[in-house]
Structures are given as C-alpha cells and as structure tokens.
Amino acid sequence: MSPDDRALVDRFCDMLAAEAGASRHTLAAYRGDLAAAAAVLGSLGAADAEALKALGGQWTALAAATVARRSSALRRFYGFLVEEGLRADDPSDGLPRPKVKRPLPRLLSTEEVAAMLSDAAERAVAGAPLARRNHALLELLYGSGLRASELVSLPRRSVRRSDPFLILRGKGEKERLVPISDAAHRAIANWLDGADDSPWLFPGGRGPLSRVRLFQIVRAMAARVGIAPERVSPHVLRHAFATHLLEGGADLRTLQALLGHADIATTQIYTHVDSRRLVELVNERHPLARRHRGESD
C-alpha cells in the first residue's frame, strides 16, 4: 500500500473509532480488506469505477461472504472520502453485491445443555479447582449468553455477589447490562473460593484464559455427556441461550439487548427456531383470537 493510501486508510479508521466506536478487531478487518484491494488496484485513492468493476472479476474464487465484506469496506471507505472532500466522486457503484444467505445457528436442546450443566455441577462438588472453574464458565456462557471474547476477558472484580448483573463492554466497545443467574453466582463463588489471586475472573497462564482453550474445555464437557464435540462451541452455547429464551416467551427487543446486537436484524435469525410456538403465541395472545373464543379483553 502506498504512503498516500495508507494515510487515507488511517484517517478512515480514525473516523470509525471515534464516530462509530469500532473495536480494534473491526479496524484490523477494515485495514486488511482495504490492503487486499490496494494490492490489486495499485492505488485506492485514485481508483475509478472501471477499476473497481474489474476488481470484482478478481474475486470470483472468493466466498460470497468475503466478497460482500470487502465490497462493503470499500463502499464505506469511498463514502468517507467523498464526505471529507478528499474525492469528488464515489466510484463504488461498480462493486459486486453478492447475496449472502445467513447460516442458521447450530442448536442444542434444553435437555442437552441441562446434561452438560448437571455433569459440570457434579464434578465441581468433588472440589477440584479446574472442575469448579469449568462449571462457572458453563453457567455464564449459557446463563448469560456471553461471547467467548467477553467471557475470557472478564476482570475478577466484574462479578459481585450483591449484584444480579454485570456491566459489560462488548463488541464495538458498547456497554450493556448482562444478567447473572443465581446458579451462576453460586458457581462463580465456589470457583473463587480458594482460587489463586488474579486480576482475571478466569486466568490462564500469564493472562486471561484464551479463547482456544475455552473452545477445548467446552467440547470436552460436551463429550463427557455423550454430545458430539463438533456440535458444541462457546458460540453454540450463546445461540442456545438466545434460542431457549425465545422459546420461553422473550421478545426480540429484549433478546437484542441481552445479546448486545446493534441491529435487530441480527437477532431475527432466531425466529426460525420455533415457528410453531410463534403461531400459537399469536393465536393465544392476539385480541382478535380472544374475541373468536368469546373472551373479553
């Protein structure tokens, strides 16, 4: 990437961080996509519509989701240049717009999660420190719907026995309230009772537990109760949290807040999980349905 392009990308990323609250991971992703485009175009700042249209032809071997992400990054980049008066025109109309079908999340039943929790709780009673830690990890993953990165980065002081929730800085550096169940509180207290002093709730080596290690722990816990390990991950447990809440009657707006989704469209993926229950909900709760049954409001 040329020095001129690098300067433009730096200004663009400064804007994303200041105005959109983009995380360092998001900024790194933007930089990577723009650098990949610059390697083909030669110059980001001077590229015209024809060059960008030809760029789409260079991406034919890439997955649709990758093409969509790179196109989105370039559109936002050139929109920024126009807004800042750094370009008179926006050449991004020629970029491809592939249709990306969002994959449905893998699901665990309530019985399967209950089996994992029951096994983890029984092992924690035996008193082994790692068993107590694993039980607390599982209670938080499923009971609060945390992302893996959010869980492993929790400071030790973030969970207080007197508070039914914690304030979490999640994706995009946005803060949200995360409820903590009584079972999770008990599991965490059991884990911390006698645990080594550390600034992290779940330490691992010289810093917090790594996401890779968390992934391994969760899969091992699944295997112990007869669940195929490839079906389970920290993110699958987050999906289970959302799915089972929706099945229990939670509305999408509440679910959006609990999961920390910026856009409710992201949360709507969970409406597929129990369409029969949603139809029954309309038939039972809608005023017209009650009138048809002869009930008063």
Catalytic residue among 133, 147, 219, 244: 147
Catalytic residue among 30, 78, 142, 270: 270
- Is 6 catalytic? The answer is no
Catalytic residue among 70, 132, 133, 171: 171
- Is 101 catalytic? The answer is no
Distances (CA, A) of 73 to 59, 67, 220, 238, 277: 14, 10, 38, 27, 39
> CA–CA separation, 297 vs 291, rounded Å?
8
> CA–CA separation, 197 vs 213, rounded Å?
20
Residue 233 tokens read as: 């991950």
Catalytic residue among 6, 53, 75, 235: 235
Tell me whether residue 249 is exposed, middle or buried, using C-beta atoms within 10 angstroms of its C-beta: 0 to 12, 13 to 18, 19 or more: exposed
Catalytic residue among 132, 185, 239, 261: 261
Contact 1, 35 (CB under 8 A): yes
E runs forming strands in the chain: 165-169, 175-179, 203-204, 207-208
- Is 25 catalytic? The answer is no
- Is 53 catalytic? The answer is no
- Is 235 catalytic? The answer is yes
Q: Which residues contact 101 (CB under 8 A, 6 or more apart)?
A: none
173, 132, 143: which is closest to 17 by C-alpha? 173
- Is 291 catalytic? The answer is no
Tell me which residues are annotated as active site. 147, 171, 235, 238, 261, 270
